[in-house]
Chains A and B, each alone.
Chain A
């Protein structure tokens, strides 16, 4: 069955551009061979050489858009490069033995659902669930479908609508001030619904195949500080950065000053990983994580609200095409008070009144669900198959009728797959 899975993965991957296969296979083979030689005296040299080679490819692909070269970055390169590094470092540290079979290692990297948008899985986790014996059960299929349905709703019903607003605001340079603020807040919802929706689909499909992937989000917008946010947002990336950048740098076990520098470097790497356009975003996040805790108040709600708004502001770097425009737009919120104009123009941003209402309702559902996950999820898991079928059917209908897709709409690309 895993053979089939790998064949499907490779075929699907090739369908997005067979040239990319060259890069992936190159990285897989170098890493696989290198890991087997991570012993003896040349250990360090092998490790560093392999990491640098793979990082060099990644960095090269990240700067390609700024050059005149027309090379298409291999899909998922940001994700599999991180997996490769974590694997190499873990083998180096003798955390686990290197994989014996090239087939297994290839499947770990190329397992198609997580290759595009993560989560960035660790080899030891995947070994247990992907490479060892697993079973496809009716229960898993139902739970998986539920998860996929929920992901599709987030992606097509919520994020699809948000994306329309964002593109009509960011597409017009004159839209500053309150428009910019609106865009930032809507974008917070957009990127969360889009990205976590995508992850839900990945986790759901994996679940159906009997593979348990790690969660990548844990109600991030309920965070009371940036520190907490980064523990709950894109968890697989944050924990990767923690394990392979922050801790090797010295982590918490040194002076406060050094600790803060480490933090800053970690977030700089995070920014760079997203692309060279996100350096300021990374640094600002680092600064907020450093000092955020000092400004915490006693009110939970206030903390959450302030954190949410600050995060929204930082998403600016993802909305507008370059850092200067983003900074300008952030400033315009405080200089350009056109709130009344926005209120009258709200129906001219691409959504009808019905669309706004649907958007609001489902966003509300999303936040209520996130806030009460602990209560809802166990109930859902233990509910009858009949109930699950009804839920799945309802979700399908909601996506089909209320989703944004088809002629006239084109939002089928997941935001996070471009990194």
Chain B
């Protein structure tokens, strides 16, 4: 009897521990919403034919709902802030556990980063991934020097000192999640035209690091092994500069591996992007206007070249589309 009571007390404390973990972890619901994007995917219907992976240049620039309206494409964007290429790889691996899309679109911007920019960015991508082999791998690949894996296994160890930084959001979203994206697209309606940009600096080396190529190879192989068509893209951001030397390397890589590569910067006029109205931060990311134009354009490329099914009649997606239209009004 005594043993039972003690076990009950211990269980009570474990629940309390979990409660504090939840309370003190960032919710990414109304601020830093980029941190909740990865987890929204788990509740989606898993019948996408196109999956995007990559950094902010995918989740800010491509709207799957527009693609659906345009060509009946079911697409999902598994992007996150500063998603490094090894993170993209493991997220793709994880996605393939749930579904097998026909096309995977990878935005090559992250080829320029060979090491994590900061621990916080990693957190935005990793925190709300479900536990799996991929999550362990992604943590091991992304950890910065001061971290160890226990900080991820028990987020309380990482976030305990937030006790005096809690806001209303932390209580409001204690037991629920706020979905901020439409199939992974984060809507931003602000307008900040491209005006002045920093000068295009010369770099010591334009050669992508080995580790980036290593993971690009892995992504290529993973797609080949699953007979998925890999498509490389570079979103039409004007900054940070996508050097010609970068572009050349990707072109060569695509040619060598028989992959399609679209540098959408070359199609800006065709797409109709007007940098004085279509970006929300002076040229780094497109706003809703710009993303809509780009998505229409890219939906046509996808539909023409990759033998996708036209899901135009899909009930669920039409309902989603209505919600989306309501939201962007």
Could you tell me if B5 and A407 are in contact, using CB atoms closer than 8 angstroms? no
Contacts A397-B20, A407-B119, A407-B147 known; A402 to B163 CB distance under 8 Å? yes
Q: Is B24 engaged at the interface, CB distance under 8 Å to the other chain?
A: yes
Please tell me if B161 contacts chain A, counting CB pairs below 8 Å. yes
A355 to B17, Cβ gap below 8 A?
no
A228–B177 CA distance with the chains assembled, in angstroms? 59
Question: Would A390 and B9 be within 8 Å (CB), given that A400-B17, A401-B20 are in contact?
Answer: yes
Q: Which of A352, A355, A401, A404 contacts B156 (CB 8 A)?
A: A401
Asked if B6 lies at the interface with its beta carbon under 8 angstroms from chain A, I say yes
B12: chain A residues within 8 A (beta carbon): 393
In the bound complex, do residue B13 and residue A386 qualify as a contact, i.e. CB atoms below 8 Å apart? no
Indicate whether A406 reaches chain B with its CB closer than 8 angstroms: yes
**A324 on the B face (CB < 8 A):** no
Asked if A393 and B9 make an inter-chain contact with CB atoms under 8 angstroms apart, the answer reads: yes
Produce 1/0 per residue, B160-203, CB < 8 A to A.
11011000000000000000000000000000000000000000
B146 interfacial contact with A, CB 8 Å? yes
What residues on A are CB-neighbors of B158 within 8 Å?
A: 406-407
Residue on A with the closest CB to B19? A397
On whether the beta carbons of B16 and A397 are closer than 8 Å, the reply is yes
Residue from B20, B24, B161 whose CB has the most chain A CB atoms within 10 Å? B161
Contact residues in B for A401 (Cβ distance below 8 Å): 20, 24, 156, 160, 163
Closest to A353 in B: B164
Q: Does A381 contact B (CB under 8 A)?
A: no
Asked if B42 lies at the interface with its beta carbon under 8 angstroms from chain A, I say no
Does B10 reach chain A (CB closer than 8 Å)? yes
State whether the Cβ of A389 lies closer than 8 Å to any Cβ in chain B: yes
Question: Helix, strand, loop or mixed for chain B's interface?
Answer: helix
Q: A379-399 vs B: 1/0 string, CB under 8 Å?
A: 000000110011001101100
- Give the shortest distance, in Å, between A410 (CB) and chain B (any CB): 9
Q: Is B2's CB within 8 Å of the partner chain A?
A: yes
B16 touches A406 (CB 8 A): no
Question: Chain A residue with minimal CB distance to B154?
Answer: A400
B151 touches A386 (CB 8 A): no
Across the interface, which residues of B come within 8 angstroms of A355, CB to CB? Answer: 164
CA distance A220 to B163 in the complex (A): 33
Inter-chain contact A386/B164, CB cutoff 8 Å? no
Complex alpha-carbon distance, A386 and B24, angstroms = 28
- For the complex, what is the distance from the CA of A401 to the CA of B157, rounded to whole Å? 8
A354 at the interface (CB under 8 A from B): yes
A248-270 to B contact mask, C-beta < 8 Å, 1/0:
00000000000000000000000
Are B16's CB and A389's CB within 8 A?
Answer: no
Residues of B within 8 A of A403 (CB): 160
Which residues from A are CB-within-8-Å of B160?
400-403, 406
Q: With the chains together, A389 CA to B9 CA distance in Å?
A: 7
B1-35 contacts to A (CB < 8 Å): 2, 5-6, 9-10, 12-13, 16-17, 20, 24
Provide 27 A-B residue pairs closer than 8 Å at the C-beta atoms, listed in order of the A residue: A352-B164, A354-B163, A355-B164, A385-B6, A386-B5, A386-B6, A386-B9, A389-B10, A393-B16, A394-B13, A396-B13, A396-B17, A400-B17, A400-B20, A400-B156, A400-B160, A401-B20, A401-B156, A401-B163, A402-B163, A404-B161, A406-B151, A406-B157, A406-B160, A407-B146, A408-B161, A409-B161
B residues near A (Cβ < 8 Å) are 2, 5-6, 9-10, 12-13, 16-17, 20, 24, 119, 146-147, 151, 156-158, 160-161, 163-164
A sample of 8 more A-B contacts (CB under 8 A), given A386-B5, A404-B161, is: A385-B2, A393-B9, A396-B13, A400-B17, A402-B163, A406-B151, A407-B146, A407-B158
A→B interface (CB under 8 Å): 352-355, 385-386, 389-390, 393-394, 396-397, 400-409
